[in-house]
Amino acid sequence: MSNAPVLDRKADFPGLVTAGGKPWHYLDTAASAQKPLEVIDAMSRALGSDYATVHRGVYNRSAQMTLGYEAARKRVADFIGAKSENEIVFVRGATEGINLVGQTWGAANIGAGDRIMLSTLEHHSNIVPWQMLAERVGAQIDVCPLTEDGLIDLDWLEANLTERHKLVALAHVSNVLGSVLGAKRAAKAAHAVGAKLLLDGCQAAPRMRLAMDKLDCDFYVFSGHKLYGPTGIGVLWAREELLDAMPPWHGGGAMIDKVSFEKTTYAPPPQRFEAGTPMITEAIALHAAIDYVDALGMERLFEHESDLATKARAALRDTNKVTLFGPEKSAGIVSFALDGVHPHDLGTILDEEDVAIRAGHHCAQPLMEHLGVSATARASFGLYNDESDIDALMRGIERTLRIFG
Protein backbone atom coordinates (compact mmCIF):
# COMPACT_ATOMS: atom_id res chain seq x y z
CA MET A 1 0.00 0.00 0.00
CA SER A 2 1.31 3.43 -0.82
CA ASN A 3 1.15 6.32 1.59
CA ALA A 4 0.51 8.81 -1.17
CA PRO A 5 -2.04 11.47 -0.29
CA VAL A 6 -5.51 11.03 -1.75
CA LEU A 7 -6.70 14.12 -3.56
CA ASP A 8 -10.32 14.13 -4.54
CA ARG A 9 -10.69 17.26 -6.65
CA LYS A 10 -12.33 16.20 -9.91
CA ALA A 11 -15.49 18.11 -9.06
CA ASP A 12 -13.54 21.39 -9.08
CA PHE A 13 -12.70 20.97 -12.78
CA PRO A 14 -15.58 21.43 -15.24
CA GLY A 15 -13.28 20.34 -18.08
CA LEU A 16 -13.12 16.77 -16.81
CA VAL A 17 -16.41 15.61 -18.33
CA THR A 18 -17.22 14.71 -21.93
CA ALA A 19 -19.83 16.54 -24.01
CA GLY A 20 -22.15 13.66 -23.09
CA GLY A 21 -21.56 14.21 -19.38
CA LYS A 22 -19.36 11.15 -18.81
CA PRO A 23 -16.01 11.24 -16.97
CA TRP A 24 -13.20 12.33 -19.25
CA HIS A 25 -9.93 10.63 -18.32
CA TYR A 26 -7.55 13.47 -19.00
CA LEU A 27 -3.94 12.25 -19.00
CA ASP A 28 -2.36 15.18 -20.84
CA THR A 29 -1.66 17.60 -18.03
CA ALA A 30 2.00 17.89 -19.03
CA ALA A 31 0.79 19.59 -22.22
CA SER A 32 -1.71 21.82 -20.44
CA ALA A 33 -3.67 21.51 -17.20
CA GLN A 34 -7.44 21.71 -16.81
CA LYS A 35 -8.63 24.73 -14.82
CA PRO A 36 -10.44 24.74 -11.49
CA LEU A 37 -13.60 26.81 -11.07
CA GLU A 38 -11.69 29.28 -8.90
CA VAL A 39 -9.49 30.17 -11.87
CA ILE A 40 -12.37 30.35 -14.33
CA ASP A 41 -14.33 32.57 -11.92
CA ALA A 42 -11.34 34.84 -11.28
CA MET A 43 -10.78 35.24 -15.02
CA SER A 44 -14.45 35.89 -15.62
CA ARG A 45 -14.62 38.57 -12.90
CA ALA A 46 -11.43 40.19 -14.18
CA LEU A 47 -12.83 40.30 -17.72
CA GLY A 48 -16.27 41.39 -16.53
CA SER A 49 -17.25 43.41 -13.50
CA ASP A 50 -13.65 44.27 -12.50
CA TYR A 51 -12.24 45.02 -15.94
CA ALA A 52 -10.16 48.06 -16.76
CA THR A 53 -6.62 48.46 -17.98
CA VAL A 54 -3.71 48.95 -15.59
CA HIS A 55 -1.04 51.53 -14.81
CA ARG A 56 -2.39 54.56 -16.63
CA GLY A 57 -5.86 55.03 -15.28
CA VAL A 58 -6.74 57.84 -12.90
CA TYR A 59 -10.13 56.27 -12.15
CA ASN A 60 -10.66 53.85 -9.32
CA ARG A 61 -11.37 50.69 -11.38
CA SER A 62 -8.02 50.99 -13.14
CA ALA A 63 -6.26 51.60 -9.84
CA GLN A 64 -7.90 48.43 -8.47
CA MET A 65 -6.84 46.42 -11.52
CA THR A 66 -3.29 47.69 -11.13
CA LEU A 67 -3.33 46.52 -7.54
CA GLY A 68 -4.64 43.13 -8.69
CA TYR A 69 -1.98 42.80 -11.38
CA GLU A 70 0.82 43.72 -9.00
CA ALA A 71 -0.64 41.48 -6.28
CA ALA A 72 -0.33 38.59 -8.75
CA ARG A 73 3.34 39.39 -9.20
CA LYS A 74 3.84 39.39 -5.42
CA ARG A 75 1.96 36.08 -5.14
CA VAL A 76 4.21 34.48 -7.76
CA ALA A 77 7.29 35.81 -5.95
CA ASP A 78 6.15 34.31 -2.63
CA PHE A 79 5.09 31.05 -4.27
CA ILE A 80 8.53 30.40 -5.80
CA GLY A 81 10.58 31.81 -2.96
CA ALA A 82 11.88 34.86 -4.83
CA LYS A 83 13.53 37.59 -2.80
CA SER A 84 11.36 40.31 -4.26
CA GLU A 85 8.51 40.80 -6.73
CA ASN A 86 10.95 42.83 -8.82
CA GLU A 87 12.47 39.51 -9.82
CA ILE A 88 9.23 38.41 -11.52
CA VAL A 89 8.74 39.31 -15.18
CA PHE A 90 5.40 38.36 -16.70
CA VAL A 91 5.82 36.87 -20.16
CA ARG A 92 3.47 34.97 -22.48
CA GLY A 93 4.89 31.61 -21.44
CA ALA A 94 8.08 29.66 -20.88
CA THR A 95 8.94 29.88 -24.57
CA GLU A 96 8.85 33.65 -24.48
CA GLY A 97 10.81 33.72 -21.22
CA ILE A 98 13.65 31.69 -22.74
CA ASN A 99 13.70 33.84 -25.88
CA LEU A 100 13.79 36.95 -23.71
CA VAL A 101 16.85 35.68 -21.82
CA GLY A 102 18.52 34.64 -25.08
CA GLN A 103 17.97 37.93 -26.82
CA THR A 104 18.86 40.18 -23.88
CA TRP A 105 21.23 38.56 -21.41
CA GLY A 106 22.45 36.05 -24.00
CA ALA A 107 23.16 38.59 -26.71
CA ALA A 108 25.03 40.78 -24.23
CA ASN A 109 27.04 38.01 -22.55
CA ILE A 110 27.60 35.22 -25.07
CA GLY A 111 29.98 35.83 -27.94
CA ALA A 112 32.10 34.16 -30.60
CA GLY A 113 33.79 31.00 -29.36
CA ASP A 114 31.63 30.78 -26.22
CA ARG A 115 29.65 27.63 -25.47
CA ILE A 116 26.12 26.88 -24.29
CA MET A 117 25.39 23.58 -22.53
CA LEU A 118 22.00 21.94 -23.08
CA SER A 119 20.91 18.33 -22.57
CA THR A 120 19.51 15.54 -24.73
CA LEU A 121 16.06 15.75 -23.13
CA GLU A 122 15.33 19.44 -23.68
CA HIS A 123 12.05 20.70 -25.10
CA HIS A 124 12.48 22.49 -28.42
CA SER A 125 11.79 25.77 -26.65
CA ASN A 126 15.00 25.25 -24.66
CA ILE A 127 16.98 24.33 -27.78
CA VAL A 128 15.93 26.51 -30.69
CA PRO A 129 16.32 29.95 -29.03
CA TRP A 130 19.90 28.97 -28.09
CA GLN A 131 20.65 27.74 -31.60
CA MET A 132 19.36 31.04 -32.98
CA LEU A 133 21.57 32.96 -30.55
CA ALA A 134 24.59 30.73 -31.21
CA GLU A 135 24.24 31.24 -34.94
CA ARG A 136 23.97 35.00 -34.48
CA VAL A 137 27.01 35.44 -32.25
CA GLY A 138 29.19 32.49 -33.35
CA ALA A 139 28.83 30.40 -30.18
CA GLN A 140 28.72 26.59 -29.95
CA ILE A 141 26.10 24.30 -28.42
CA ASP A 142 27.10 21.27 -26.34
CA VAL A 143 24.70 18.53 -25.30
CA CYS A 144 24.89 16.79 -21.94
CA PRO A 145 23.91 13.10 -22.33
CA LEU A 146 21.49 11.14 -20.16
CA THR A 147 22.11 8.29 -17.76
CA GLU A 148 20.59 4.92 -18.63
CA ASP A 149 17.40 5.66 -16.68
CA GLY A 150 16.85 9.01 -18.37
CA LEU A 151 18.34 11.52 -15.96
CA ILE A 152 20.63 14.34 -17.06
CA ASP A 153 24.11 12.92 -16.42
CA LEU A 154 25.55 15.29 -13.84
CA ASP A 155 28.86 13.39 -13.61
CA TRP A 156 29.32 14.07 -17.32
CA LEU A 157 28.23 17.68 -16.85
CA GLU A 158 30.74 18.29 -14.08
CA ALA A 159 33.52 16.70 -16.11
CA ASN A 160 32.77 18.56 -19.33
CA LEU A 161 31.93 22.13 -18.37
CA THR A 162 34.71 24.59 -19.16
CA GLU A 163 35.40 28.26 -18.70
CA ARG A 164 34.11 28.78 -22.25
CA HIS A 165 30.62 27.82 -21.13
CA LYS A 166 28.62 30.93 -20.38
CA LEU A 167 25.26 29.27 -19.92
CA VAL A 168 23.83 25.92 -18.88
CA ALA A 169 20.13 25.58 -19.76
CA LEU A 170 18.31 22.48 -18.50
CA ALA A 171 14.81 21.20 -17.85
CA HIS A 172 14.07 20.95 -14.12
CA VAL A 173 11.63 18.12 -14.95
CA SER A 174 11.51 16.39 -18.34
CA ASN A 175 8.18 16.71 -20.14
CA VAL A 176 8.71 13.29 -21.72
CA LEU A 177 10.36 11.16 -19.05
CA GLY A 178 9.30 12.94 -15.87
CA SER A 179 12.91 12.77 -14.67
CA VAL A 180 13.84 15.35 -12.04
CA LEU A 181 17.13 17.22 -12.36
CA GLY A 182 19.55 17.43 -9.45
CA ALA A 183 19.24 21.21 -9.75
CA LYS A 184 21.56 22.24 -6.93
CA ARG A 185 24.35 20.07 -8.27
CA ALA A 186 23.82 21.47 -11.76
CA ALA A 187 23.98 25.01 -10.33
CA LYS A 188 27.21 24.24 -8.49
CA ALA A 189 28.76 22.77 -11.64
CA ALA A 190 27.71 25.77 -13.75
CA HIS A 191 28.91 28.31 -11.22
CA ALA A 192 32.23 26.50 -10.76
CA VAL A 193 33.15 27.51 -14.34
CA GLY A 194 31.50 30.94 -14.11
CA ALA A 195 28.46 29.97 -16.22
CA LYS A 196 24.86 30.91 -15.46
CA LEU A 197 22.15 28.27 -15.03
CA LEU A 198 18.72 28.62 -16.62
CA LEU A 199 16.11 26.11 -15.53
CA ASP A 200 13.08 25.34 -17.65
CA GLY A 201 10.53 24.82 -14.90
CA CYS A 202 7.49 24.15 -17.10
CA GLN A 203 6.90 20.70 -15.63
CA ALA A 204 8.36 21.41 -12.19
CA ALA A 205 6.34 24.49 -11.23
CA PRO A 206 3.00 22.60 -11.28
CA ARG A 207 4.40 19.70 -9.24
CA MET A 208 7.15 20.83 -6.89
CA ARG A 209 7.67 23.32 -4.10
CA LEU A 210 10.09 25.81 -5.61
CA ALA A 211 12.52 27.92 -3.63
CA MET A 212 14.65 30.11 -5.86
CA ASP A 213 17.18 30.86 -3.12
CA LYS A 214 17.73 27.15 -2.44
CA LEU A 215 17.85 26.08 -6.09
CA ASP A 216 20.65 28.57 -6.65
CA CYS A 217 19.94 28.96 -10.36
CA ASP A 218 20.11 32.28 -12.23
CA PHE A 219 17.06 32.17 -14.49
CA TYR A 220 13.85 30.18 -14.08
CA VAL A 221 10.89 30.05 -16.48
CA PHE A 222 7.45 28.44 -16.44
CA SER A 223 4.03 28.69 -18.08
CA GLY A 224 0.78 29.53 -16.30
CA HIS A 225 -1.37 27.14 -18.34
CA LYS A 226 0.49 24.11 -17.00
CA LEU A 227 0.00 25.38 -13.45
CA TYR A 228 -3.81 25.23 -13.70
CA GLY A 229 -3.90 28.86 -14.81
CA PRO A 230 -4.78 30.43 -18.17
CA THR A 231 -2.82 30.41 -21.40
CA GLY A 232 -1.01 33.56 -22.45
CA ILE A 233 0.91 34.11 -19.24
CA GLY A 234 4.16 32.76 -17.90
CA VAL A 235 6.92 33.79 -15.59
CA LEU A 236 10.56 34.62 -15.99
CA TRP A 237 12.38 34.78 -12.68
CA ALA A 238 15.92 36.09 -12.55
CA ARG A 239 18.06 37.43 -9.76
CA GLU A 240 17.56 41.16 -9.47
CA GLU A 241 21.14 42.12 -10.25
CA LEU A 242 20.97 40.11 -13.50
CA LEU A 243 17.70 41.75 -14.56
CA ASP A 244 19.11 45.17 -13.63
CA ALA A 245 22.03 44.69 -16.00
CA MET A 246 19.95 43.30 -18.88
CA PRO A 247 19.15 45.56 -21.84
CA PRO A 248 15.47 45.97 -22.77
CA TRP A 249 13.83 43.57 -25.21
CA HIS A 250 10.55 44.72 -26.77
CA GLY A 251 10.18 48.48 -26.99
CA GLY A 252 6.94 50.34 -26.40
CA GLY A 253 4.74 51.74 -23.70
CA ALA A 254 5.17 50.88 -20.03
CA MET A 255 8.84 49.84 -20.33
CA ILE A 256 10.20 53.40 -20.42
CA ASP A 257 11.28 56.00 -17.96
CA LYS A 258 11.28 58.96 -20.37
CA VAL A 259 10.87 59.15 -24.14
CA SER A 260 12.15 61.83 -26.46
CA PHE A 261 13.42 61.74 -30.02
CA GLU A 262 16.87 62.59 -28.70
CA LYS A 263 17.08 59.84 -26.09
CA THR A 264 14.80 57.34 -24.41
CA THR A 265 15.55 55.93 -20.99
CA TYR A 266 14.11 52.73 -19.64
CA ALA A 267 12.18 51.71 -16.56
CA PRO A 268 13.82 49.43 -14.01
CA PRO A 269 12.93 45.72 -14.06
CA PRO A 270 10.48 44.09 -14.18
CA GLN A 271 8.64 46.85 -16.14
CA ARG A 272 11.62 47.19 -18.50
CA PHE A 273 10.68 43.78 -19.93
CA GLU A 274 6.92 44.26 -20.06
CA ALA A 275 6.30 46.52 -23.06
CA GLY A 276 2.70 47.27 -23.93
CA THR A 277 -0.55 46.51 -22.15
CA PRO A 278 0.21 43.41 -20.09
CA MET A 279 -1.70 40.14 -19.59
CA ILE A 280 -3.86 41.66 -16.87
CA THR A 281 -6.68 39.15 -16.59
CA GLU A 282 -4.30 36.23 -17.09
CA ALA A 283 -2.10 37.42 -14.22
CA ILE A 284 -5.11 37.72 -11.94
CA ALA A 285 -6.28 34.22 -12.89
CA LEU A 286 -2.76 32.87 -12.38
CA HIS A 287 -2.91 34.30 -8.87
CA ALA A 288 -6.08 32.26 -8.29
CA ALA A 289 -4.41 29.13 -9.67
CA ILE A 290 -1.47 29.54 -7.32
CA ASP A 291 -3.82 30.03 -4.37
CA TYR A 292 -5.59 26.81 -5.39
CA VAL A 293 -2.53 24.56 -5.69
CA ASP A 294 -0.75 26.10 -2.74
CA ALA A 295 -3.72 25.38 -0.47
CA LEU A 296 -3.49 21.70 -1.48
CA GLY A 297 0.26 21.67 -0.84
CA MET A 298 2.88 21.25 -3.57
CA GLU A 299 4.54 18.38 -1.70
CA ARG A 300 1.24 16.48 -1.71
CA LEU A 301 0.77 17.15 -5.40
CA PHE A 302 4.18 15.72 -6.18
CA GLU A 303 3.63 12.59 -4.09
CA HIS A 304 0.13 12.08 -5.50
CA GLU A 305 1.18 12.35 -9.15
CA SER A 306 4.40 10.45 -8.70
CA ASP A 307 2.47 7.63 -7.01
CA LEU A 308 -0.01 7.49 -9.92
CA ALA A 309 2.91 7.34 -12.35
CA THR A 310 4.43 4.41 -10.43
CA LYS A 311 1.08 2.58 -10.48
CA ALA A 312 0.63 3.25 -14.19
CA ARG A 313 4.12 1.94 -14.91
CA ALA A 314 3.37 -1.25 -12.97
CA ALA A 315 0.07 -1.79 -14.80
CA LEU A 316 1.70 -1.13 -18.18
CA ARG A 317 4.56 -3.49 -17.38
CA ASP A 318 2.08 -6.25 -16.43
CA THR A 319 0.79 -6.34 -20.02
CA ASN A 320 4.23 -7.62 -21.16
CA LYS A 321 3.58 -5.61 -24.32
CA VAL A 322 5.01 -2.27 -23.33
CA THR A 323 8.39 -0.58 -23.45
CA LEU A 324 8.68 2.00 -20.70
CA PHE A 325 10.97 5.02 -20.97
CA GLY A 326 12.43 7.11 -18.17
CA PRO A 327 13.16 6.55 -14.48
CA GLU A 328 11.07 4.36 -12.17
CA LYS A 329 10.26 7.31 -9.92
CA SER A 330 9.01 10.09 -12.15
CA ALA A 331 7.29 13.38 -11.50
CA GLY A 332 3.93 12.10 -12.72
CA ILE A 333 4.83 11.59 -16.38
CA VAL A 334 5.04 8.18 -18.10
CA SER A 335 6.22 7.69 -21.69
CA PHE A 336 5.84 4.30 -23.29
CA ALA A 337 5.50 2.33 -26.52
CA LEU A 338 3.00 -0.45 -27.09
CA ASP A 339 4.44 -3.36 -29.11
CA GLY A 340 3.38 -3.15 -32.75
CA VAL A 341 1.07 -0.17 -32.26
CA HIS A 342 1.91 3.34 -33.37
CA PRO A 343 1.35 5.85 -30.55
CA HIS A 344 -1.05 7.81 -32.77
CA ASP A 345 -3.23 4.71 -33.29
CA LEU A 346 -3.20 4.07 -29.56
CA GLY A 347 -4.14 7.69 -28.87
CA THR A 348 -7.02 7.50 -31.34
CA ILE A 349 -8.45 4.30 -29.86
CA LEU A 350 -8.06 5.66 -26.32
CA ASP A 351 -9.96 8.77 -27.38
CA GLU A 352 -12.93 6.54 -28.24
CA GLU A 353 -12.74 5.35 -24.62
CA ASP A 354 -12.73 8.94 -23.32
CA VAL A 355 -9.07 8.69 -22.37
CA ALA A 356 -6.81 11.54 -23.50
CA ILE A 357 -3.10 10.84 -23.81
CA ARG A 358 -0.47 12.54 -25.95
CA ALA A 359 1.20 10.75 -28.83
CA GLY A 360 4.09 12.25 -30.70
CA HIS A 361 7.55 13.69 -30.23
CA HIS A 362 6.43 16.05 -27.45
CA CYS A 363 8.59 18.85 -28.91
CA ALA A 364 11.65 16.81 -27.98
CA GLN A 365 12.88 15.34 -31.27
CA PRO A 366 16.51 14.94 -30.15
CA LEU A 367 15.26 12.88 -27.20
CA MET A 368 13.14 10.72 -29.53
CA GLU A 369 16.25 10.10 -31.61
CA HIS A 370 18.15 9.12 -28.47
CA LEU A 371 15.34 6.70 -27.50
CA GLY A 372 15.35 5.27 -31.02
CA VAL A 373 11.70 6.06 -31.72
CA SER A 374 9.88 8.68 -33.77
CA ALA A 375 7.17 9.12 -31.14
CA THR A 376 6.03 7.87 -27.74
CA ALA A 377 2.68 7.59 -26.03
CA ARG A 378 2.64 9.75 -22.90
CA ALA A 379 0.30 9.65 -19.94
CA SER A 380 0.82 12.60 -17.63
CA PHE A 381 -0.98 13.08 -14.35
CA GLY A 382 -2.41 16.16 -12.69
CA LEU A 383 -3.74 16.80 -9.21
CA TYR A 384 -7.25 15.72 -10.31
CA ASN A 385 -6.30 12.27 -11.57
CA ASP A 386 -6.87 9.11 -9.59
CA GLU A 387 -6.75 5.36 -10.07
CA SER A 388 -9.98 5.39 -12.09
CA ASP A 389 -8.01 7.16 -14.82
CA ILE A 390 -5.33 4.45 -14.81
CA ASP A 391 -8.06 1.78 -14.95
CA ALA A 392 -9.62 3.52 -17.97
CA LEU A 393 -6.20 3.77 -19.64
CA MET A 394 -5.58 0.07 -19.10
CA ARG A 395 -9.05 -0.89 -20.41
CA GLY A 396 -8.28 1.11 -23.55
CA ILE A 397 -4.86 -0.51 -23.90
CA GLU A 398 -6.35 -4.01 -23.55
CA ARG A 399 -8.86 -3.14 -26.28
CA THR A 400 -6.10 -1.76 -28.50
CA LEU A 401 -4.10 -4.97 -28.04
CA ARG A 402 -7.18 -7.02 -29.00
CA ILE A 403 -7.73 -4.88 -32.13
CA PHE A 404 -4.09 -5.20 -33.19
CA GLY A 405 -4.07 -8.93 -32.37
Q: How far is the CB of 50 from ligand PMP (least distance, A)?
A: 26
Rounded distance between C-alpha atoms, residue 23 and residue 190, angstroms: 46
Q: How far is the CB of 282 from ligand PMP (least distance, A)?
A: 12
Q: How far is the CB of 81 from ligand PMP (least distance, A)?
A: 20
In the list 99, 103, 223, 306, the residue contacting ligand PMP (rule: CB under 6 A) is 223
Task: Identify which of residues 203 and 400 has a Cβ nearer to ligand PMP in the complex.
Answer: 203
Q: Binding of ligand PMP at residue 75 (CB under 6 A)?
A: no
In the list 75, 79, 88, 95, the residue contacting ligand PMP (rule: CB under 6 A) is 95
Task: Please confirm, yes or no, whether 363 is among the known catalytic residues.
Answer: yes
Q: Binding of ligand PMP at residue 166 (CB under 6 A)?
A: no
Q: How far is the CB of 207 from ligand PMP (least distance, A)?
A: 12
Q: Which residues in 29-48 contact ligand PMP (CB under 6 A)? A: 31
Q: Total residues contacting ligand PMP (rule CB under 6 A)?
A: 14
Q: Which residues in 193-222 contact ligand PMP (CB under 6 A)? A: 200, 202-203
Q: Binding of ligand PMP at residue 119 (CB under 6 A)?
A: no
Q: Binding of ligand PMP at residue 99 (CB under 6 A)?
A: no
- Name the residues that contact ligand PMP, by CB under 6 A: 31, 93-95, 123, 125-126, 171, 175, 200, 202-203, 223, 363
